[in-house]
Amino acid sequence: MNPQNPSSSITHPRGTRARVLLSSVFGPYAQDDEFGSRAINPMELYHNQVTRAQGAFSLRMFHRSWGIMMIQSNISAPCTLLDFPTREAFARELTSHEYEIVGISSIIVNIGKVREMCRMVRKLSPHSTIIVGGHVTAIPGIEHMVDADHYVRGEGISWMRRYLGEDDSAPIKHPAIVSGIQTRAMGMRLPERRGSTAATIIPSVGCPMGCSFCTTSSFFGGKGNFHNFYETGDELFDIMEGFETSLGVQTFFIMDENFLLHRKRALQLLERMKAGRKSWGMAVFASANAIKSYSMQELVELGISWVWMGLESPHSVYSKLKGTDTRELTHEMRSHGIRVQGSTIIGLEHHTPANITGEIEHACSHETDFHQFMLYTPVPGTPLYREMKDQGRLLDAVDFADIHGQFKFNFQHAAISREDSKRFLDWAFWHDFEANGPSLYRMCQTMLQGWRRYRDYPDPRVRERFEREMQKLRTGYNAALWAMEHQFRSVNRSVSEKIQALRKEVESESGFFARLSARAVGPLLLWTSRREERRLAKGKTYEPPTFLERTNWAST
């Protein structure tokens, strides 16, 4: 029995014959409502917490609920997966089939929706057993807040397998996941061609570094612990090669909190990629000290094209940053064609109204391609939360729906008020945009630097990857640069001039076709961007579509 989950030794009487419905919480999401949706908390990654101040230039896309996709792929019971349902779609599914088990996946902010979904199940499908899983179960006392039968903390595939009487140590089958859906930028939906979007690979959950505020680390066991789905580079290689064929992809979004920390696995993957002549690209999360344990050549040959890295402040105490100058590291990675997504925490213990603008300016001076800002937030389940609770510093009246790091403090900060926390956060996003320009432009800068450096590299896999990126720069991205340059003329002349200089560099490297693309498509993108700005000003929001997928399902 797993001590985190006292219910982990229980099995369902029908075992794998039980019908299972797995669902994410219902939408719409980007609106204020009584179930805990918030307009500032859309179901989007970039527009929620990275490029949200960048208007029409914000990168917009949705991501499926990978946790329940993983569970569905690894159980042999008949199973329906409902992703991003409306309340009506959830009710319809509950009444149109008999489900013995209903599993609801949620994070903390959406507890109000979990409560409502449990109420609906009790009413519409009273014989179903309700299982709640995902980060929401880290809320202390959740058993008294929602009406479910089991609350699954931590890793869910093995729990569900045990519950259905299956072998919980069987190899993990990775579902085919297209990482982003309905991507938009500059008022245009990007075409969803086969292979054009990266595939998501989930090698593990959790992170052994155990930073005190980190919710994913603590949820999967905290310091020193994590859960590996795939131990070796060989296993990862086989999965990636499979998706190269089935999805037609050459890029992968590696959803692992600290992929590069597992050096042996990463280097084994590199060996296989070299032997198999794979010109793959990879977007990864990694801490600065893990990145520093590789040479730039190793990173580039491994296909690392995008790194999400915590920057924090020069005075931070986290061991993942020890001895690393993150500004220098960012600059170096970009000069090797690796896009950097920095992540900065606003409202650390040492921040004061007097020093915080300086710290934000320092963060922006990294000139990352993308920059996430988050409020320092004690989230239920983390060591930081327990510390704040013991010190009596948690603010009682804060709704769980507002504890996500993009609104206001949920604790008493020594020097910064709750109201000011939001002002500083908003200023950080604005300042990064104002000082460094649109992320789309910054990405183009990095891509050009990478191509210039590696176009003649001896390893053809590397040359090919940068050539693929350059091909995008010569065409669509160059047109986007033209549009950004023109849009910024009246907004910020110096940013406009920088974009123009980059466009000219791209054109001098690429000649006629890049110029043609800029002149032919650029004006269209300028028009769609301006139209998008007007739509956004009127309150336009985007919602993900609903997905319904059945497995092991008898057709009658």
The Cα 357–Cα 430 span in angstroms is: 12
Applying CB under 6 A, does 542 fall inside the site for ligand B12? no
Task: Specify the residue, 240 or 384, whose C-beta has the smaller distance to ligand B12.
Answer: 384
Tokens representing 119? 């109420």
The backbone torsions φ and ψ at residue 214, rounded to the nearest 5 degrees and listed phi first, read: -85, 115
> Within 13 Å, how many C-alpha atoms sit on residue 549's CB side?
20
CB contact set of 37 (below 8 Å; sequence gap of 6+): 27, 28, 29, 30, 31, 113, 401
Identify the residue among 44, 100, 257, 485 touching ligand SF4 (CB under 6 A).
257
Applying CB under 6 A, does 310 fall inside the site for ligand B12? no
Question: Applying CB under 6 A, which part among 9-17, 59-67, 271-279, 317-325 lies near ligand B12?
Answer: 59-67
Give the one entry of ligand SF4, ligand B12, none that residue 310 binds, where binding means its C-beta sits below a cut-off of 5 to 8 angstroms depending on kind. ligand SF4
- Shortest distance (Å) from residue 332 CB to ligand B12: 26
Identify the residue among 77, 91, 109, 114 touching ligand B12 (CB under 6 A).
109
Applying CB under 6 A, does 547 fall inside the site for ligand B12? no
Task: Specify the residue, 30 or 470, whose C-beta has the smaller distance to ligand B12.
Answer: 30
Number of residues that bind ligand B12 (CB under 6 A): 42
Residue at token pair 């925490």: 345
Give the one entry of ligand SF4, ligand B12, none that residue 63 binds, where binding means its C-beta sits below a cut-off of 5 to 8 angstroms depending on kind. ligand B12
Identify the residue among 14, 63, 327, 452 touching ligand B12 (CB under 6 A).
63
Question: Applying CB under 6 A, which part among 67-75, 315-323, 427-435, 506-514 lies near ligand B12?
Answer: 67-75
Residue-level length of the chain: 556
* Residue 90 backbone zone (phi > 0: left; psi -120 to 50: alpha; other: beta): alpha
Applying CB under 6 A, does 260 fall inside the site for ligand SF4? no
Identify the residue among 104, 111, 114, 207 touching ligand SF4 (CB under 6 A).
207
Query: Would you give the DSSP letter of residue 364?
Result: H
As separate numbers, helices (DSSP H) first and strands (DSSP E) second, the chain gives 19, 17
Task: Specify the residue, 210 or 233, whose C-beta has the smaller distance to ligand SF4.
Answer: 210
Applying CB under 6 A, does 405 fall inside the site for ligand B12? yes
Applying CB under 6 A, does 43 fall inside the site for ligand B12? yes
Identify the residue among 202, 364, 447, 502 touching ligand B12 (CB under 6 A).
202
Applying CB under 6 A, does 218 fall inside the site for ligand B12? no
Applying CB under 6 A, does 76 fall inside the site for ligand B12? no
User: What is the Cα gyration radius of the chain?
Assistant: 24
- Shortest distance (Å) from residue 284 CB to ligand SF4: 12
Strands 20-24, 60-62: pairing is unpaired
The 3-state DSSP class for residue 210 equals coil
Applying CB under 6 A, does 480 fall inside the site for ligand B12? no
Give the one entry of ligand B12, ligand SF4, none that residue 337 binds, where binding means its C-beta sits below a cut-off of 5 to 8 angstroms depending on kind. none
Identify the residue among 10, 45, 89, 120 touching ligand B12 (CB under 6 A).
45
Restricted to residues 151-180, the positions that interact with ligand B12 (CB under 6 A) are: 152, 155-157, 159-160
Exposure string of 272-282, with b = 16+ CB inside 10 Å and e = fewer, is bbeeeebbbbb
Applying CB under 6 A, does 445 fall inside the site for ligand SF4? no
Applying CB under 6 A, does 210 fall inside the site for ligand SF4? yes
Strands 181-185, 188-189: pairing is antiparallel
Applying CB under 6 A, does 29 fall inside the site for ligand B12? yes
The backbone torsions φ and ψ at residue 372, rounded to the nearest 5 degrees and listed phi first, read: -95, 135
Query: What are the helix (H) ranges across 337-459?
Result: 356-364, 383-390, 418-436, 439-454
Question: Applying CB under 6 A, which part among 244-252, 385-393, 404-412, 498-506 lies near ligand B12?
Answer: 404-412
The 3-state DSSP class for residue 191 equals coil
Applying CB under 6 A, does 258 fall inside the site for ligand SF4? yes
Contacts with ligand SF4, 303-342, as mask; x by CB under 6 A: -------x---------x----------------------
The Cα 151–Cα 381 span in angstroms is: 14
Q: Which residues does residue 79 pair with via DSSP β-bridges, in sequence order?
A: 20, 551
Query: What are the helix (H) ranges across 50-171?
Result: 66-73, 87-96, 111-124, 157-163
Q: Which of 332, 436, 321 is nearest to 50 (CA)?
A: 436
Write out the DSSP string of 462-522: HHHHHHHHHHHIIIIIHHHHHHHHHHHHTT-HHHHHHHHHHHHHHHHHHTHHHHHHHHHHH
Give the one entry of ligand SF4, ligand B12, none that residue 406 binds, where binding means its C-beta sits below a cut-off of 5 to 8 angstroms depending on kind. ligand B12
Whole-number Cα distances in Å, 535 to 57, 186, 274, 427:
13, 12, 47, 23
Applying CB under 6 A, does 404 fall inside the site for ligand B12? yes
Neighbours of 293 (CB within 10 A): 12
DSSP E strand stretches across 265-364: 281-285, 304-310, 339-346
Question: Applying CB under 6 A, which part among 211-219, 273-281, 347-355, 512-520 lies near ligand SF4?
Answer: 211-219
- Shortest distance (Å) from residue 425 CB to ligand B12: 11
Residue at token pair 């690393």: 324
Identify the residue among 80, 110, 217, 251 touching ligand SF4 (CB under 6 A).
217
The backbone torsions φ and ψ at residue 376, rounded to the nearest 5 degrees and listed phi first, read: -60, 120
CB contact set of 464 (below 8 Å; sequence gap of 6+): 279
Contacts with ligand B12, 112-151, as mask; x by CB under 6 A: -------------------x-xxx--x-------------
Residues of this chain that bind ligand SF4 (CB under 6 A): 207, 209-211, 214, 216-217, 257-258, 287, 310, 320
State the residues that interact with ligand B12 by CB under 6 A: 24, 29, 41, 43-45, 48-49, 63-68, 70, 103, 105, 107-110, 131, 133-135, 138, 152, 155-157, 159-160, 202, 205, 215-216, 255, 257, 379, 404-406
